[in-house]
Structure 1
Amino acid sequence: MPDIQEHVDTLARKFVPSYRFLRSQKSTIDSSHFIQSEFKSKSIKVLSWNIAKNNYDKIWLRDFLNIRKQYQPDLIFLQEFRLEVGVEKVIEWLDMSWNFAPNFIDAHHQSYSGIFTAARTSSLSKKVIITKHHEPIIKTPKISLITEYPLSHNGATLLAINSHLINFVDINKFRIQLHELELALSAHRGPIIFSGDFNTWSRKRAIILDKAVTKLGLMPVNFAPQESRKIKRFLLSPPLDWIFYRELSQKKTSAQVLDHIYSSDHKPLLAEFSYTDTQQK
């Protein structure tokens, strides 16, 4: 019986030209749009969504603008975001500061693909973590973007992590990516929001993720059962998309999954948090 990896490599050579997917030379592409100097501690509204590279689609844009108008998120995490090469600073539909971390360039479509984080305030710092291992077929890594923002309490800062975890690889490579994130987050003293598409389509992956976030003192957003059922899954698998948090209070009635949205195969996740002096350590 032929080796599975050899079979995958043969398919890759046949259907995906080696020159199509290129490593980006840019760590991040950024835009600062001044709206407010810091996050308001009484309400931090979060939107997290794997948009399946549909942000140039008119239906997706209509959905996104309606979500923004109705829910007014302060912090937006988008995975599988596409940005055309040469127009990096032109996103006319978003009046927020943003950071985009591409994990590859699609030479055929002349576009970047990666992780996109937008906020009502500019980030104080940013860090990109790219996986050492690549997914098969297109041979591209996965990426995480860590941004830090000021909070309106005693110089505290919020660490925001937007992640897309590696898929179609053995479980050890998934564990390695999470361990790298653990190391990066463990140095932060203060509130954290860790969100994205974690590709936890198996119980083993979900257990590894749970151990990692528990070690960091993070809790998952508590979606009501009728909301949780709407989150992207494969058959009876655990959810793929998560929002975790630390040293914040979740406003439980705010946790929603917008299952009326069909412009991506993932549904948008919404949550709202507050932060007070008593939560500081």
Structure 2
Amino acid sequence: MLYKQPRPDDVLVAHGRATQPALPRRFTVCVWNWQKSKQKGWADEFAKISQAADLFLAQEVRRSPAVRGVMEAAPYHWSGAVSFFSLKGQNPVGVATGCTAEPLKVSFKRGAREPVLQVPKMTLSTLIPLQHSAPLLVINIHAINFTGLKPFESNLRRAAELLLDFDGPVLLGGDFNSWNARRRRLLQSTARAAGLTEVVFDPDRRTRCLGRPVDYLFVRGLKVLAAGVRATEGSDHNPLLARLEAR
């Protein structure tokens, strides 16, 4: 194992400060893989998006002191699930969900490990208070990549388990690494079985691998008012943005 793994008590992290007691019934969400904030334009791009988004689902988040400072300058309470610590600087790396409202509950699911590096993929679940509505269940996933179909299916199944017995509105988003037809079909069938609807982006400028999009957003109990993809040089992924309304 080439990377240090977090102890069980160190997987979940929280920082930042909420700026409102609950998410408004009409809200904007962004889904964006940060590529560990390697690109020079990441901080400026994030600052612009955070002015418009009430809810933020980020993957490949490397919480260096500098990145954490940028995150905490935004109007969000941050919840995170740490996958591993980077070799350089021992910074925690994983998924993070930021929201203008503090979550009522936070949990995670650890997926299968990537081959060679043995890094586990994380799924983060946050229950967000929603104005004049039942709470919103937000699931942020970075799916396993360089494996066959069975570990990918197991990863999706673990994420779907978080939806069991939940009757309120649901938002599922992230980097699903769905770079071939079988992965894409399995993702779409799993979402349908969970009663989720895929958010359509037109024009579809989502980042692609082998010609197929890898980033997705699915909803249940939410009306899609608008959706778009923002071209950026702040990461190797383009951020997804959607304006949603609780039914």
TM-score norm. by structure 1 comes to 0.82
Would the alpha carbon gap of residues 88 and 265 (structure 1) be closer, same or farther in structure 2, given more than 3 Å must change?
A: closer
Q: Which residue in the other structure is 1:46 paired with?
A: 29
Counterpart of 1:114, as a letter, is: G
Indicate yes or no: 2:184 matched with 1:213.
no
- Mapped partners of 2:34, 2:120: distance in 1: 18
Show structure 1 runs of 4+ deviating over 4 A.
85-91
Q: Which residue in the other structure is 1:111 paired with?
A: 91
Q: Pairwise mapping of residues 30-109 of structure 1 onto structure 2 (< 5 A)?
A: 30-31=14-15, 33-41=17-25, 43-54=26-37, 58-69=40-51, 72-84=52-64, 91-109=71-89
Q: Which residue in the other structure is 1:266 paired with?
A: 237
Indicate yes or no: 2:206 matched with 1:231.
yes
* 2:179 partner SS: coil
- The CA deviation at 1:236 is 2.5
**1:189 maps to which of 167, 185, 201:** 167
Counterpart of 2:37, as a letter, is: N
Percent identity at matched positions? 30
- The CA deviation at 1:68 is 2.4
* Long gaps (5+) in structure 1: 1-17, 277-281
Would the alpha carbon gap of residues 235 and 247 (structure 1) be closer, same or farther in structure 2, given more than 3 Å must change?
A: same
**1:147 maps to which of 126, 130, 134:** 126
- The CA deviation at 1:271 is 0.3
TM-score norm. by structure 2 comes to 0.93
- Measured against aligned partners, the alpha-carbon deviations of 1:75-100 in whole angstroms (never above 9, x if no partner) come to 00010000137996884422311101
- The CA deviation at 1:183 is 1.6
**1:241 maps to which of 195, 210, 215:** 215
Would the alpha carbon gap of residues 90 and 248 (structure 1) be closer, same or farther in structure 2, given more than 3 Å must change?
A: closer
Would the alpha carbon gap of residues 220 and 35 (structure 1) be closer, same or farther in structure 2, given more than 3 Å must change?
A: same
* Long gaps (5+) in structure 2: none
- The CA deviation at 1:184 is 1.7
- Mapped partners of 1:124, 1:95: distance in 2: 17
8 Å contact kept, 2:15–2:72: no
8 Å contact kept, 1:200–1:206: yes
Counterpart of 1:40, as a letter, is: P
Q: Which residue in the other structure is 1:167 paired with?
A: 145
8 Å contact kept, 1:29–1:88: no
- The CA deviation at 1:153 is 2.0
8 Å contact kept, 2:43–2:70: no
- The CA deviation at 1:65 is 0.9
Q: CA RMSD in A?
A: 1.9
Query: Aligned pairs, how many?
Result: 245
* 1:66 partner SS: helix
Q: Which moved more, 1:58-67 or 1:160-169?
A: 58-67
Counterpart of 2:23, as a letter, is: F
- Measured against aligned partners, the alpha-carbon deviations of 1:191-249 in whole angstroms (never above 9, x if no partner) come to 0000000000001001111111101110111211x2x1x11112322x10000000011
- Mapped partners of 2:88, 2:66: distance in 1: 14
Counterpart of 1:247, as a letter, is: G
Would the alpha carbon gap of residues 172 and 235 (structure 1) be closer, same or farther in structure 2, given more than 3 Å must change?
A: closer
Higher strand content, 1 or 2: 2
Would the alpha carbon gap of residues 109 and 146 (structure 1) be closer, same or farther in structure 2, given more than 3 Å must change?
A: same
